[in-house]
Amino acid sequence: MNRVRSCVLYCALVFFFGIMSPLCSAFAQDIAMADQQDSIEVPDVVVSATKTDIPAKHVTSAVEVITGEEMQQRKVRTVAEALRWAQGLSINQSGGPGTTVDVRMRGGTAEQTLVLIDGAIVNSGTTGAYNFADLTSDNIERIEILRGSQSMLWGSDAMGGVINITTKRGRDKPNVSGFAEYGSFNTIREGASVAGKKGPIDFSGSISRWDTAGFSAINYRRGAAERDGFHNWQGSVRLGADLPRDGRLEFSFRWMQSIVNFDGSVFNSTTFASDPADVFGAKSNSTQYVFAGNYTQPITAWWSQKLTLSRATDKLISDGGTFTRNVVTGSVEPVGFPFRSQIENISNRIEWQHNVQVGKPLLLTAGYQFREQKGDNRDLLTNTITFEDKAVRSHAGFGEAQLNLWDRVFGTAGIRQDEYNAFGSATTYRVTGGYLHHETGTKLRGSYSTGFRAPSINQLFFPGFGNPNLQPEKSQAFEAALEQTLPGEWGSISVGYFWTRYRNLILSVFDPAVCTGPGSFGFCAQNVGLARAEGLEVSTKLKLLRDRRWAKSLDLQIQYTYAATRDINNGPDTRLPKWPLHQVTTIISYQPIEGLRANLEGRYMGERFNNTSNVGPIPSFVVWNLSASYDVTKNIQTYVRLDNMFNEKYEEVMWFGTPIRSIFGGVRINYDLPI
């Protein structure tokens, strides 16, 4: 099987690089026709790279954009599914739908990825990470993935990068749509949405439900028998108003409610190791609310401002269950450490940003941000408070200069100062540069930046583990890339190198002289970790065919990530957990006739380790998915999706289940409203 996987990876890479040869030959022949052509094959505008609207061809950072239209065409159900096909990321889920999903960038941890929804920071204050388990793709306009240390603009948690998620904005004639879907694991999904614009007011809203059962969180191939369920409700709204003198006011809201059953592990007294286990009665109930408001107003022809206010709340009630069944030995025992907990998080953000245009070549940006994260933890079994109303707050000021000379030479330079109540200050900076040669469509870019992550509330205050003397984690990052637009609107190719060094990483350390708190057993959080990551990111997006007989369109996307990680604390040859050396993703989209579309998705993830000791590697895998849709009429579409079509046996996280071959089918309707 390993030989087959290696062959698949080899063939994908050969195809990727082999297809470049004829295209480059054609590029040489068409170079005279490409004069003044500058259509880089990415969406027109990117916001997250500079906090201002900037044409994609001017961006000097590593950015990838996934649009809501692309997710709808591929019948992608969740944001996590869409991110699995992006560059430079490692996505890991502990079981089926609704179980914990963490997203890592460029060798970083999930806590080092900053996630925003409509400007609201949704990272948990207690753990530091965002769990993507409940976030569906419904009513999402775009996802911007900004890779590399980005703390200069975005502050804490952006050491690895930023994922900026935007709710759909109503733009056209008011329209109402709905869908219903049924498939494997007794899955039922349904939802409805409305969007449009009337005069100066635009609006979009959606509500959806997702129920599934029959999917074991622990891999059934390891002997799991219990089937765990997932029940999810989700609603979202975005309202906007165009104000006089090019001003704009927006309000966004998203609500997520879910119940999911989960499994875990049990101690084996014979082998003195942990074994995977079905856990009967274990479940969690999560409720999330995300509020955001944005006000943008030009003050003069050269000066504008933007005010953002947001709040994200999360309430998680978890029940550890009653009995466990060891799937290795088959023994059934009461849960060794029963628990029932309630964890609440609140994340507030206020940011006031000003942009000043100095002539044509220079744009200056300056801003202030207040950020507050609060957390409570309660033990519902004993009706006691683990910790209450703990908070990490910061005030920050940042400034950035953007240079644009002749629409060819681009650069940014910025600095930021954060002041925290918990540990003091953190200073970060970033410098980027790029050159675009319009005549050939060639773009060179590079950057150097620093980043930091503030300790989470758990790391500071959790009894028996927290350490109030912790300092922030820090990073240094460098990247350089070449991007090439192909003539005749054929597509684009990019090749990039990245290097990141992490220091002051917060780890659990056995140090009885320092870790003296009750229940610590000599272990506590300390700033002792060192790590490094470097690698390559290669991407090609090609429009192979257009308007042919039986091929209205044929598109190909192939992305390759090589990430060499090192856990310096544990030796020069020790890799960071959850990070493979090689990842390859492929998306082929084929539209033979108007109204009919098929998508083939392939994903290879190389061997990786589940822990820092690098014991027991998780094998590599290749998964293929197929989706197709047909427009029966202009108002009715039917679709089908086949996941894991070759029934690959694999795991993203050791012991935990992934989909077997499964099929889903549905219908989607939409109508214009007569208003």
What integer pLDDT is reported at residue 23 of this predicted model?
35
Residue 42 lies in a domain: yes
Select the more confidently predicted residue: 46 or 638.
Answer: 638
Q: Which of 173-177, 597-601, 614-618 has the lowest mean pLDDT?
A: 614-618
What residue numbers bound the domain in which 340 lies? 2-59+206-663
Residue 89 pLDDT class (50, 70, 90 cuts) = very high
More confident residue, 22 or 461: 461
Which pLDDT score, from 0 to 100, does residue 523 have?
A: 85
On whether residue 424 sits in a domain, the answer given is yes
pLDDT tens track for 300-344: 999 999 999 999 999 999 999 999 999 999 999 999 889 999 999
> What CATH number has the domain bearing residue 353?
2.40.170.20
Judged against a pLDDT cut of 70, whether residue 1 lies above it is answered with no
Alpha helices in 312-402 (DSSP H): none
Burial of 319 (0-12, 13-18, 19+ CB in 10 A): buried
**pTM score, two decimals?**
0.91
- Give the list of residues 6+ apart from residue 406 with CB closer than 8 angstroms, or none: none
Q: What mean pLDDT comes out for the span 194-215?
A: 94
Is the pLDDT confidence value at 174 over 70?
Answer: yes
In this predicted structure, what is the pLDDT of residue 21? 37
Amino acid 34: pLDDT: 35
Side-chain-side CA neighbours of residue 100 (13 Å):
16
- The answer to whether residue 97 is domain-embedded is no
- 3 state DSSP class of 572: coil
The predicted pLDDT at position 22 comes to: 36
Residue 164 confidence (pLDDT) above 60: yes
In this predicted structure, the answer to whether residue 526 has a pLDDT above a threshold of 50 is: yes
Tell me how far CA of residue 124 lies from CA of 94, 159, 215, 246, 437, in angstroms.
18, 16, 27, 35, 43
For residue 13, the model assigns a pLDDT of 39
Residue-wise pLDDT tens digits, 256-311:
999 999 999 998 878 878 899 999 999 999 999 999 999 999 999 999 999 999 99
Q: 33 falls in which pLDDT band (50, 70, 90)?
A: very low
Structure tokens of 75? Answer: 């019948």
Gap between the Cα atoms of 572 and 197, Å rounded: 58
- Residue 469 maps to a domain: yes
Which tokens in the block code for residue 193?
A: 């949405």
Q: Residue range 663-668: average pLDDT?
A: 97
Residue percentage of the chain with pLDDT more than 90: 80
pLDDT bucket at 215, cuts 50 / 70 / 90? confident
Please tell me the least confidently modeled range out of 4-8, 101-105, 348-352, 487-491: 4-8
Residue 548 within any structural domain of the chain: yes
State the average pLDDT over residues 656-669. 95
CB atoms under 10 Å from CB of 307, counted, come to 15
72 part of a folded domain: no
Would you say residue 129 has pLDDT above 80? yes
Residue 367 domain-assigned?
Answer: yes
Mean pLDDT lowest among 103-107, 147-151, 269-273: 269-273
Provide the pLDDT confidence category of residue 360 given band limits of 50, 70 and 90.
confident
DSSP, residue by residue, 237-300: EEEEEEEGGGEEEEEEEEEEEEEEE--EEEEETTTTEEEEEEEEEEEEEEEEEEEEEEEEEESS
Domain count, the chain: 1
Selection from 403, 488, 398 nearest residue 449 by Cα: 398
pLDDT class of 39 with cuts at 50, 70, 90: very low
Whether 118 is in a domain gets the answer: no
Predicted pLDDT of residue 516: 79
Nearest to 675 by CA among 252, 167, 176, 168: 176
What pLDDT shows up at residue 15?
36
The stretch 98-121 carries a mean pLDDT of 95
Q: What is the pLDDT of residue 366?
A: 96
Does the structure show a pLDDT above 50 at 666?
Answer: yes
How is residue 574 written in tokens?
């020790």
Query: Does the pLDDT value for residue 612 go beyond 90?
Result: no
Concatenate the DSSP letters of all residues of 20-68 into one string. HHHHHHHHHHTGGGGTT----SS-SEE-TTTTS-EEGGG--SEEEEEEH
Q: Confidence band (pLDDT; 50, 70, 90) for 477?
A: very high
Residue 9 has pLDDT above 50, yes or no: no
CA 457 vs. chain centroid, Å, equals 22
pLDDT, residue 235, reads 97
Q: Is pLDDT above 90 for 137? A: yes
Q: Percentage of the chain surpassing pLDDT 70?
A: 94
What does pLDDT average to over the chain?
90
Closest by CA position to 452, among listed 117, 120, 131, 108: 108
Per the model's pLDDT, the better-predicted residue between 672 and 586 turns out to be 586
When pLDDT is cut at 50, 70 and 90, the band that residue 37 belongs to is very low
C-alpha span between 660 and 675 (Å, rounded):
46
